[in-house]
């Protein structure tokens, strides 16, 4: 499989990159790690006549703590995040998640920003980042805004990012860093994922491969009342009720009813790992 010919642009600034995509229109897109975009172009499922490489722009890979936030540059690779001491200190669940994405070659090339903007419904990072209450900074030639991760994902392969906006940073409030994440994986993608935040309430989010992360309100309320004696039966019932109306994919990897079960198991495991890790607070 080979991609069709395209022109490769290598701007040195965000403004230049954004303006290029705005001027070139539909046939142009931003390019980072390429682990997803190049595959689609090779399979002729996406066609772009212009790729605007973001990797030559300085400062987009920085990872560090700024005030009360862990700030991760969107061009940081999964490998960079997995190896970052700032991330392992303040957000160990994200360290672990990034160390287990796909395989080492994808982690070396793939970027967190590319992963989020691609919005693959089976990807792992979106679910944890919404539970962590992450903010995503989007920059264009003329404007900049920060939107909550929970408002970024609109559907499979669809986000709130405008075509000429560049995702530059992911900002995670330090207090929520202990949110847990668990996944049920077979093959290359997770079949079900769950993340539970430790902040004021037990925000419980799942990934189910069919759409953006879904918040389970009933399950979250049950966990808020949890006195340590919530039975597995009650937890599974709450999850089942929360996802009753959700359109769950059914394919060769797993049927719908099995996926519904795996979602509940992922939530159970995320709750167990939340209990295992004591709150670390803000350091």
Q: Which residues bind another protein (CB under 8 A)?
A: 1-8, 34-35, 38-39, 42, 51, 53, 55, 79, 102-106, 108-109, 188
User: In terms of CB distance, is 100 or 241 closer to another protein?
Assistant: 100
CB of 7 to another protein, least distance (A): 5
CB of 107 to another protein, least distance (A): 9
Other residues' Cβ atoms within 10 Å of the Cβ of residue 41 = 21
User: What residues have CB less than 8 Å from 201, skipping those under 6 apart?
Assistant: 220, 224
Sign of the alpha-carbon dihedral angle for 100, 249, 208, 34: positive
CB of 22 to another protein, least distance (A): 19
User: In terms of CB distance, is 85 or 103 closer to another protein?
Assistant: 103
CB of 105 to another protein, least distance (A): 5
Question: Which contiguous run of DSSP H or E holds residue 263?
Answer: helix 256-276
User: In terms of CB distance, is 38 or 265 closer to another protein?
Assistant: 38
Strand, coil or helix: 216:
coil
- Which residues, in sequence order, are bridge partners of residue 172? 70
Q: Tell me the backbone φ, ψ of residue 188, rounded to 5 degrees.
A: -85, -20
CB of 282 to another protein, least distance (A): 32
User: In terms of CB distance, is 48 or 205 closer to another protein?
Assistant: 48
User: In terms of CB distance, is 102 or 160 closer to another protein?
Assistant: 102
Q: Determine the angle formed by the axes of helices 256-276 and 232-242, rounding to 10 degrees.
A: 130
């Amino acid at each position: 499989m080979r991609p069709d010919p395209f022109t490769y642009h290598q701007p040195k600034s965000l403004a230049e990159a954004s303006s290029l995509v705005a001027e070139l229109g539909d046939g142009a897109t931003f390019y980072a790690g390429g682990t997803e975009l190049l595959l689609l172009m090779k399979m002729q499922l996406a066609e772009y006549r212009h790729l605007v490489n973001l990797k030559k722009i300085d400062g987009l890979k920085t990872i560090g703590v700024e005030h009360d936030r862990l700030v991760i540059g969107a061009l940081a690779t999964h490998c960079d995040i997995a190896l970052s001491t700032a991330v392992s200190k303040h957000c160990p669940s994200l360290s672990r998640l990034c160390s287990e994405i796909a395989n080492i070659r994808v982690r070396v090339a793939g970027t967190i920003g590319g992963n989020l903007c691609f919005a693959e419904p089976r990807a792992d990072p979106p679910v944890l980042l919404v539970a962590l209450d992450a903010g995503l900074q989007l920059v264009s030639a003329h404007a900049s805004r920060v939107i909550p991760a929970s408002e970024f994902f609109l559907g499979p392969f669809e986000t709130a990012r405008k075509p000429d906006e560049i995702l530059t940073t992911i900002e995670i409030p330090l207090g929520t860093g202990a949110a847990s994440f668990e996944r049920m994986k077979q093959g290359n993608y997770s079949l079900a994922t769950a993340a539970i935040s430790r902040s004021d309430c037990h925000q419980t989010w799942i990934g189910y491969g069919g759409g953006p992360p879904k918040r389970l309100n009933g399950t979250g309320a049950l966990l808020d009342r949890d006195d340590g004696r919530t039975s597995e039966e009650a937890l599974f019932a709450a999850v089942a009720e929360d996802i009753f109306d959700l359109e769950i994919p059914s394919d060769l990897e797993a049927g719908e009813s099995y996926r519904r079960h795996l979602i509940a198991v992922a939530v159970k495991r995320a709750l167990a790992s939340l209990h295992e890790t004591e709150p670390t607070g803000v350091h």
